Homo-oligomer: A and B are copies of this chain.
Amino acid sequence: MRLRDPQLNAARRAAILEAAANCFVRQGFHATSMKDVCAEAKMSPGTLYHYFRSKADIIAGIIEDERRMADELVRPLAAAPDFAAALFEAVDVLAGSVTDRDLVLHAEISAELLRQPQLRERAAAADRQSRDTLAAAIAEAQRASSVDRRLNADHTAAILFALIDGHLWNATLHGAAALAPRLPALKQAIARILADPE
């Protein structure tokens, strides 16, 4: 009984996640067989199951990766000097970097999330945390009077997420390329939601 090799372990797990994501994007979660993942990752089923408990466990790993990236997009907003400008910047970065692959994988994951109560609860908690981060940034901007002070910061954060998420879902249907032409209208809507109307 040798000791576990953390280097190898991390490398194999990453390779399996990458191979599985490729398969899931091509054929979807449930149409992808473990044999497909094994072929893509070039290893036997026994080896794969040495690193992941189950097919669902692989999905969980992909979700975790995605959650980390989403967090990195929202966090900088809290410290931004000009909230609206920082939000526009984040929207541009998101729209510019998101691919059809990302969108399909995200949809696949979202459906799977709902089925696994544990994963779903973690996703809901992550969503609440992102919203809290955004709400705090909005409240700060309200103190600096760059956002209408009468708005409820928490509700407004939810509105903004809904608006941006809705755009991403729409792009899932029409392709990532459909995102860019809508950006000016999206920013205009955000500006109207946030601005003091008088």
- For the complex, give the distance between the alpha carbons of A166 and B163 in Å: 6
Q: Is A19 an interface residue (CB 8 A)?
A: no
CB distance from A136 to the nearest CB of B (A): 17
- For the complex, give the distance between the alpha carbons of A107 and B113 in Å: 10
Q: Is A44 an interface residue (CB 8 A)?
A: no
Contacting residue for A182 out of B113, B155, B166, CB 8 A: B155
Looking at A4-12, A61-69, A73-81, A168-176, the stretch in contact with chain B turns out to be A168-176
B170 contacts A158, C-beta separation under 8 Å: yes
A115 and chain B: residue at smallest CB distance? B28
Please indicate which of the listed interface residues A108, A110, A163, A184 has the most CB atoms of chain B within 10 Å of its own CB.
Answer: A163
- For the complex, give the distance between the alpha carbons of A185 and B148 in Å: 14
- For the complex, give the distance between the alpha carbons of A166 and B173 in Å: 14
Q: Is A195 an interface residue (CB 8 A)?
A: yes
Q: Is A167 an interface residue (CB 8 A)?
A: yes
> Which chain A residues in 158-192 approach chain B with CB under 8 Å?
158-159, 161-167, 169-170, 172-174, 182, 184-186, 189, 192
A172 and chain B: residue at smallest CB distance? B114
Please indicate which of the listed interface residues A27, A29, A189, A193 has the most CB atoms of chain B within 10 Å of its own CB.
Answer: A189
Chain B residue contacts of A195, Cβ below 8 A: 192, 197
Q: Is A123 an interface residue (CB 8 A)?
A: yes
CB distance from A86 to the nearest CB of B (A): 20
CB distance from A124 to the nearest CB of B (A): 5
Q: Measuring CB to CB, which residues of chain A are less than 8 angstroms from any residue of chain B? A: 27-31, 104, 107-108, 110-115, 120, 123-124, 127, 152, 155-156, 158-159, 161-167, 169-170, 172-174, 182, 184-186, 189, 192-193, 195, 197
